[in-house]
């Protein structure tokens, strides 16, 4: 059976609620044969639970995949375990100043007593599917790649995200991560009609319907928050069951939640201003931003000199989402 990447994602997605499914499909553009087998497993904190785990002879990743391990603190407390799925390669600047994007995420979201692993999915380094149950949450980074593309590693990432959704694992998607989450779960993503959004953006929080419990943890629920943005793609249509909880004048879907285990943020809560300065300079130097859009980039740099993002609030939102108990109620 011949099928393209997008149809393959829909096929696997349509099988997510089946107890046992087997499919073998050929992807002409990748010249490979993928075998998928969805089976119920029992592996959640010593308690019985039927979850769907996606296995594939080509999708399986060697346990020797490169990982970086960070541990905070010692003591007898149970360590929370999290993973960063890095969809971008470290820039020269971030590598020199921060030691890589992984360290940027640790500084923003890591806390004492936690273990964090790194998987460079952009280089085809994925977590072992048999060890997903060991993690409390996952963070998907931004990327210069298109979330709607059919690069092999992007398709594999979509399969992984569908599996984590079926397991109801906490998944936080940022920028590209936000977009690829929505794509993999049935939403639509594409190039923004209005072009690049770069710099500080005021995001308005929707409070008229309901507020996710992790947002209630802020001292005062704000009506708006400022965040660093750097993207030219956006989510046009959210997955079934998703709730849009923030928007802006530029982008209709700035923040989306699904249940209590999926959170997507279009902006960059982890970015510092100097990181964005460097990105803008590189985009201008390699002509990724052209014509009138160059003026927007230059204005963005000027705007960063006179205003600050609400980083503390965004970091708290992300930490509370990742680490709040699953059985918390929504108001």
Please give the structure tokens belonging to residue 193: 């009609």
Q: Cβ contacts of residue 283 below 8 Å, gap of 6+?
A: 198, 289, 297
Write down the number of H helices and E strands in the chain.
Answer: 9, 15
Q: Give the chain's length.
A: 331
Please give the structure tokens belonging to residue 19: 């107890």
Beta bridge partners of 256: 244, 264
Strand ranges (DSSP E) for the chain?
A: 21-27, 32-41, 51-56, 69-71, 80-85, 114-119, 137-140, 170-174, 188-191, 197-205, 224-231, 233-237, 242-247, 255-258, 262-265
Q: Which of 158, 229, 234, 268 is catalytic?
A: 268
Q: Report d(CA 284, CA 210) in Å as an integer.
A: 41
**Which DSSP letter does residue 47 get?**
B
Question: Which residue from 237, 232, 242, 239 is spatially nearest to 252, judged by alpha carbons?
Answer: 237
Q: Which of 175, 182, 230, 318 is catalytic?
A: 175
Burial 10-34 (b: 16+ CB within 10 A, else e): eebbebeeeeebebebebeebeeeb
Residue 90 CB neighbour total at 10 angstroms = 17
Residue 38 CB neighbour total at 10 angstroms = 22
35 catalytic? Reply is no
Q: Report d(CA 23, CA 12) in Å as an integer.
A: 9
Question: Which residue from 269, 267, 182, 260 is spatially nearest to 216, judged by alpha carbons?
Answer: 260
175 catalytic? Reply is yes
Contact between 82 and 164 under an 8 Å Cβ cutoff? The reply is no
270 catalytic? Reply is yes
Beta bridge partners of 36: 23, 56
Q: Which of 229, 230, 270, 318 is catalytic?
A: 270
**Residues belonging to the active site:** 175, 268, 270
């Amino acid at each position: 059976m011949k099928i393209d990447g997008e149809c393959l994602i829909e096929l696997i997605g349509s099988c997510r609620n089946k107890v046992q499914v087997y499919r073998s499909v050929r992807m002409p553009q990748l010249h490979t044969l993928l075998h998928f087998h969805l089976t119920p497993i029992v592996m959640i904190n010593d308690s019985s639970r039927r979850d769907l785990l996606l296995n594939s002879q080509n999708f399986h990743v060697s346990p020797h995949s490169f990982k970086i391990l960070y541990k905070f603190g010692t003591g007898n407390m149970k360590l929370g375990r999290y993973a960063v799925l890095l969809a971008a390669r470290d820039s020269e600047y971030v590598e020199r100043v921060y030691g890589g994007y992984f360290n940027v995420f640790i500084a923003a979201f890591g806390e004492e007593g936690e273990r964090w692993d790194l998987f460079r999915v952009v280089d085809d380094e994925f977590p072992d599917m048999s060890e997903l149950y060991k993690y409390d949450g996952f963070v998907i980074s931004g990327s210069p790649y298109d979330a709607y593309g059919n690069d092999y590693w992007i398709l594999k990432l979509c399969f992984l995200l569908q599996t984590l959704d079926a397991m109801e694992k906490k998944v936080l998607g940022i920028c590209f991560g936000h977009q690829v989450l929505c794509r993999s779960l049935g939403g639509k993503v594409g190039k923004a009609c209005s072009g690049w959004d770069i710099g500080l953006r005021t995001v308005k929080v929707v409070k008229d319907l309901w507020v996710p419990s992790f947002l209630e943890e802020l001292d005062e629920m704000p009506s708006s928050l400022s965040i660093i943005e750097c993207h030219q793609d956006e989510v046009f249509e959210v997955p079934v069951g998703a709730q849009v909880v923030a928007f802006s004048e530029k982008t209709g879907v700035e923040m989306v939640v699904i249940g209590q285990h999926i959170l997507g943020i279009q902006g960059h809560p982890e970015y510092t201003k100097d990181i964005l300065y460097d990105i803008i300079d590189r985009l201008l130097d390699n002509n990724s931003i052209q014509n009138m859009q160059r003026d927007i980039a230059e204005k963005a740099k000027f705007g960063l000199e006179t205003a600050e993002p609400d980083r503390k609030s965004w970091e708290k939102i992300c930490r509370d989402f990742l680490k709040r108990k699953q059985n918390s109620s929504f108001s």
